[in-house]
Structure 1
């Protein structure tokens, strides 16, 4: 009998090598596309802060109105997240991710138009596009990399930090190319357009249907799948949501106000902006390794507690000696926030048994979480205005870390959402 028809004898079947190479190439293309998209998911927000003073001067905005340019996207991350399940059912995950990149590019370019209306309209479009992509990405990673979700989530959160660092660090130098802040911000549409081009092979592929009831694919939900409302009262899903909200509140509050804190203590504005950008680099390192370590360290809550200690040490340093020790404090801040961000995103995947449930938990955690996070910059600004200093605002951020640890301990428990319900259904 020919070897070609005797696979049971343990010999390789002709064509297996080619199929494996093809599968490996497809996975590499998919991973590259996902990471390039992830790179764009903070650029539209992080690029505004470095030129916020130019925007205020050019449009005559008050500090409160100008701060909306950094807080509106965060609220949009939450509000528009709840549209994602319906859009995914109609379009599929892959096509929807491609469309978010086109919408992101359009929103960035819209801010090029003169007038306040186009500036804020573009900001809303940017926030909406990122919101949908935020929710879809964990489910897409769970679906495409079921057995490598941990490393992929680490790379995903690393790409988020890298995109924020590039936008924070390069926007001011790009003023030499753009001339003024409007064309300079519009230049950030180019990475979104490139991301769509890289994602094009996934965008044009036919949606894949699955026959397994609890396996989400690139298609509408099948009958028998768990509805979204079922996760809204699940304790694990609630813990993951609370953790996402609290750590995001801390992140976006410091993103908005740390440069102002450093400037109030005598640091030149360009150096303050650079230090904020610098904090992303230790964040990149932490976000890359934290999910890998979290799978090995016991007790499971130790990594999230360590992230709170690192971040709290940074807050203490900024309160005591903000300028002389700035590099140390921003290193600690980056390490703490990188760890907490990557873990909160990873818990969305780890606490879900499949991609369908990942989509539900991602919608809940990022929808409600970012709505909560948007209150942070506004609230801290109000506390600063009322007290006239940074000691009490930093103490308030320290208080948030206590909540972060409590929710992180609950989210780190190694069990899946709706585990009890599924056991009942199976029984």
Structure 2
């Protein structure tokens, strides 16, 4: 299949009529998306507790998150092919079901089981992320940028709630592994709601297939942008809370700092893609998101606890960078390619490489922490 920049005719072409109402698809997508960060956002506030319980190093603790993120990359690459036998909508439900199953497996509080369950969670998230992009392109093409921002916001809300309640849940439920496993419940409930919706799409509906766009310059640019944004996201998601615990913050206060990081991403995820789509100024809004992330990261490294105001401003700037960057990358792919198959293939390539590279960030930061005994070198990696 030949790839090219989509012209005005391609962007405005009327897609085949969807058998589902847009409102129904939107509600289902938002419910499913809420589960695509929760299992991984619950780990960082409990990382030091789990590390002490399991008797592992910081590098090994970082590898838990790294293994999940790298499996997200594998899932992203395979998603378009896996969607073929079931159809994109049914395959999306199955992928989120895999996320729920991986969360249940986290009940076993041993290191090999934690790695295996994290990989299962990551694979399901990677597949679901690409399929959601294709479902949005097929059913909600007229508002792809706005809807993509909404689905990312739903992920962020799930991650925020998880960050806030992870430590209290561990206390109430009797251990960190129970706190990680409880997030299977909303995942399986979301699948139960989505499945009757997905069944309304005929299995015979052929959405087409497309190979990964290896020779398309635009796809590689989008991939590089998604990779660097993802490195920022997963590096801070894993180590922001432990970093401030290292500086003397109580675990619950550090978890609240991470929750602010998640909350502050929401307006950026909503506004930046919508404004970029309306004005067709993708480069301007992307550059602004990068500069915000750079300023926040540099501030947290050089002056982690400013007098009076504390680190909250740095955290907000970091959040704007990663909160806007991810949906901007997905939105410009959806806008650029003419159909769900090509948009899904390009999204799979961008997220696949992005997650594989981003998966190295938590691991490398943990290894550098072990080697240097402090956070300056690991945080410099994010710059």
Same fold (TM over 0.5): yes
- Post-superposition shift, 1:122? 1.4
Cα 1:388–1:58 change in 2 (3 A) is: closer
Partner of 1:213: none
C-alpha distance 126-396 of structure 1, shift in aligned 2 (>3 A): closer
SS of the residue 1:259 aligns to: helix
Q: In the alignment, is residue 228 of structure 1 matched against residue 211 of structure 2?
A: yes
Distance 1:178 1:393 in 2: 33
- Indicate the larger mover: 253-262 or 189-198: 253-262
TM-fit CA distance, 1:320? 3.0
CA RMSD across the alignment: 2.1
Task: State the match for 1:39 in structure 2.
Answer: 34
Match of 1:57 among 42, 52, 55: 52
Q: With CA pairs under 8 Å and 6+ residues apart, which has the higher RCO, 1 or 2?
A: 2
Are the aligned partners of 2:65 and 2:359 in contact in 1 as well (CA < 8 Å)? no
Matched, 1:301 2:296: no
2:359 equivalent to 1:374: yes
- Would you say 1:279 and 2:274 are equivalent positions? no
CA distance in 2 between partners of 1:299 and 1:108 (Å): 40
- Of 336-345 and 233-242, more deviation after overlay is shown by 336-345
Where does residue 173 of structure 1 map in the other structure? 168
Distance of aligned partners of 1:298 and 1:360 in 2 relative to their CA distance in 1, 3 Å threshold:
closer
Give 4+ residue runs of structure 1 displaced > 6 Å after superposition. Answer: none
Task: Indicate conservation of the 8 Å contact 1:78/1:367, yes or no.
Answer: yes
Retained in 1: the 8 A contact 2:35–2:155? yes
What CA distance in whole angstroms lies between the structure 2 residues aligned with 1:92 and 1:298? 32
Q: Gaps spanning 5+ residues in structure 1: where?
A: 1-22, 211-215, 399-427
Aligned residues of 1:78 and 1:370 also touching (Cα < 8 A)? yes
Change (3 A) 1:151 1:41: same
Q: Which of the pair has more CA radius of gyration?
A: 1
TM-superposed deviation, 1:32: 0.6
Structure 1 residue aligned with 2:248: 266
How far is the alpha carbon of 1:160 from its aligned partner? Answer: 1.6
Once the two structures are superposed, residues 141-174 of structure 1 have per-residue CA deviations (whole angstroms, 9 ceiling, x without a partner) of 0001011111101101111211111111111121
Query: What SS is found at the alignment partner of 1:44?
Result: helix
Deviations 1:203-252 (A, max 9, x none): 32242545xxxxx63xxx3xxx6x414x1120001111111111101111
Q: Which runs of 5+ in 2 are unaligned?
A: 1-17
Which deviates more from structure 2 when the two are superposed, residues 109-118 or residues 349-358?
Answer: 109-118
Candidates 360, 368, 383, aligned match of 2:345: 360
Matched, 1:85 2:80: yes
- CA 392–124 in structure 1, closer or farther in 2 if over 3 Å, else same: closer
Equivalent in the alignment of 1:12 = none
Equivalent residue, structure 1, for 2:9: none
1:334 equivalenced with 2:319 (yes/no): yes
- For normalisation by structure 1, the TM-score amounts to 0.80
CA separation of 1:358 and 1:186: change in aligned 2, threshold 3 A: same
Aligned length: 363
Shift of residue 80 of structure 1?
2.4
- Does the 8 Å CA contact 1:36/1:195 hold for their aligned counterparts? yes
Once the two structures are overlaid, the 10-residue window that deviates more, 312-321 or 231-240, is 312-321
Q: CA deviation at 1:287?
A: 0.2
- Please name the residue that 1:14 is paired with: none
TM-score by length of 2: 0.89
Alpha-carbon contact 1:262-1:323 (below 8 Å) kept? no
Q: Shift of residue 24 of structure 1? A: 11
What is the CA distance between 1:202 and its match in structure 2?
A: 2.1
Q: Give the alignment partner of residue 179 of structure 2, picking from 184, 189, 193.
A: 184
Which residue in 2 is equivalent to 1:237?
219
Task: State the match for 2:153 in structure 1.
Answer: 158
2:214 is paired with a residue whose SS is helix
Q: Structure 1 CA distance, aligned partners of 2:112 and 2:374?
A: 33
Which position in structure 2 is the counterpart of 1:113? Answer: 108
Measured in 1, the distance between the counterparts of 2:115 and 2:363 equals: 17
